[in-house]
Amino acid sequence: MKKEYQESVKKVIDRFPERKKEFLSGSSEKIERLYTPDDTQAIDFETEIGYPGLFPYTRGVQPTMYRGRFWTMRQYAGFGNAEESNRRYKYLLEQGQTGLSIAFDLCTQIGLDSDDPMSVGEVGKVGVAIDSLADMETLFDGIPLDKVSTSMTINAPAAILLAMYIAVAEKQGVSRKQLKGTIQNDILKEYMARGTYIFPPEPSMRLITNTFQYCSENIPGWNTISVSGYHIREAGSSAVQEIAFTIADGIAYIESAIKAGLDVNSFAPRISFFFNAHNDLFEEIAKFRAARKLWAYIMKERFGVKSPKSMKLRFHTQTGGSTLTAQQPDNNIVRVAIQTLAAVLGGTQSLHTNSRDEALSLPTEDSVRIALRTQQIVANESGVANTIDPLAGSYFVESLTKKMESEAKQYIKKIDEMGGMVHAIEMGYPQKQIQESSYNYQKQIEKGERIIVGVNKFTIEKEVPKDLLKIDEDVERGQLTKLAELKKNRNSNKVKESLEKIRETARSNKNMMPVFLEAVKNYITLGEICGVLREEFGEYTEG
């Protein structure tokens, strides 16, 4: 670095010390005082940065990005019962939301019916309760499935919920070719970070592979998995760990599908990703850019894919739930705005902005609207969507992108050495890494080394927020009545037959999707189907 500058810095620091001895990013990476061309001279423009829409896609997956069309504004919503959630979806679509994102309650996510003893107290709480196709029909009543794209946060029973979605579309007269959407369907991060697993890894991976195959043959517009770093970050990982573990998960799914005999070129284009956006703006932007580059090189060099479609890392982003504070909840609007910028400057294809009151309860309609408006303001007023990847070439952003890429590579190498992500998880490796980061982060906050406005600095006497959304306990009762009636009115022979077929198929190595589809059409419940699979596959418990 220029000697003159170093000397002048020294003089200044001698008189006025800097605010801190060491400056750290949101995930504790050391940040230098200044970045200069020295930091980027080893980065080759053509092979490492390049052009948007071209390999290695560091600058984005499309040649025009948001100049063509904004990202999909997709608020995650769902609560109570299917009727109520249906009303919220219609409201959000009227407000200009461009895609649906369905939140299911925990019972549904764990494959339990609302009348299961384990479901007590949970029905309809963090999402909508779906027991059978009847609920799904209500959920999408009056919403044309050929017009909207739907993202479903469902993992362990993803194949079954997808079958219900296909069945609803059929009833609406919408062909499979027209369906657009995403199922999260990412089980590895459940073992690692989120906990809504049902079956052990091996049969879980099979269900995912079955979905890849079925969709590549039947629903070409469907994203068959959303490999999710979001929850890894929420569990406390660093930004580098978020992309490293997510990409290692992606590698595991590809390897598992190849092992099952699928051609990587047939399913790779439908793999999508899901990341978190935290507050440290530049680190987050660099993270997205690094992730895209990493994936492109892995697909090309490791898996030898030919089509650019298979090399492009397309992702949805959600602003960081764990960054929101219960104290002074309105401050969260500002956090979400910064995180929105990070996602957009990082080139996201779709975005969910969290609502200000989410550290307290599910969001109210007002809070969701503010969160959606935040995206709309960034899109329409800020000007950041007018040019592609405007921070490319920034000494800081490029060197940070490079650094995160190489650190992530080291994690991926380590996981490869452990025999892949499934083994690494069984050995508890990523879990331990995440916990370590999480603990250190929280300690920094508690020691005041990291400022959280309204929590450990600039605090005020506790204000009691009003107007929180409350899920009526009647939802559970209503759902139980509906379910009991459904079970009473079904053809019990068909129920038996369908469940037997599921058992047989589970024991074979055939694709499960067709039997799921038949079963849901016969109004077999999610809990019944998963019950048989639990008997056949076993249940996973944390080691």
Partner 1 sequence: MSNKVRILIAKPGLDGHDRGAKFISRALRDAGYEVIYTGIRQTPEQIVAAAIQEDVDFLGLSILSGAHNVLFKKITDILNQKKIDDIILFAGGVIPEGDIPGLKSLGFKAIFTPGANSKEIVDFIENEYKNK
Interface ranges with partner 1 (CB under 8 A): 106-107, 109-110, 112, 117-122, 125-126, 190, 194-197, 234-236, 322, 324-327, 359-362, 435, 438-439, 442, 446, 452, 454-456, 464-465, 468, 470-471, 473, 542
73 vs 452, which CB is nearer to partner 1? 452
| Smallest separation (angstroms) from partner 1 to the CB of 185 | 16
Give backbone dihedrals phi and psi of 56, rounded to 5 degrees, phi first. -90, 25
d(C-alpha 275, C-alpha 318), whole Å: 7
| Smallest separation (angstroms) from partner 1 to the CB of 198 | 11
300 vs 534, which CB is nearer to partner 1? 534
Tokens of 438: 């999480």
| Smallest separation (angstroms) from partner 1 to the CB of 454 | 8
104 vs 537, which CB is nearer to partner 1? 104
d(C-alpha 340, C-alpha 332), whole Å: 12
Contact indicator for 385, 67 with CB cutoff of 8 Å: yes
Q: In what order do the strands lie in the sheet with 76-77?
A: 76-77, 100-103, 150-153, 181-183, 222-223
| Smallest separation (angstroms) from partner 1 to the CB of 353 | 18
347 vs 430, which CB is nearer to partner 1? 430
245 vs 523, which CB is nearer to partner 1? 245
Tokens of 84: 């109520």
39 vs 249, which CB is nearer to partner 1? 249
Q: Which of 195, 404, 444 is nearest to 284 (CA)?
A: 404
Other Cβ atoms less than 10 A from the Cβ of 201: the count is 20
| Smallest separation (angstroms) from partner 1 to the CB of 86 | 20
| Smallest separation (angstroms) from partner 1 to the CB of 360 | 6
Contact indicator for 429, 188 with CB cutoff of 8 Å: no
Distances (CA, A) of 424 to 192, 324, 419, 429, 432: 10, 31, 7, 5, 10
276 vs 327, which CB is nearer to partner 1? 327
| Smallest separation (angstroms) from partner 1 to the CB of 350 | 23
Other Cβ atoms less than 10 A from the Cβ of 535: the count is 11
Contact indicator for 302, 344 with CB cutoff of 8 Å: no
Give backbone dihedrals phi and psi of 82, rounded to 5 degrees, phi first. -60, -35
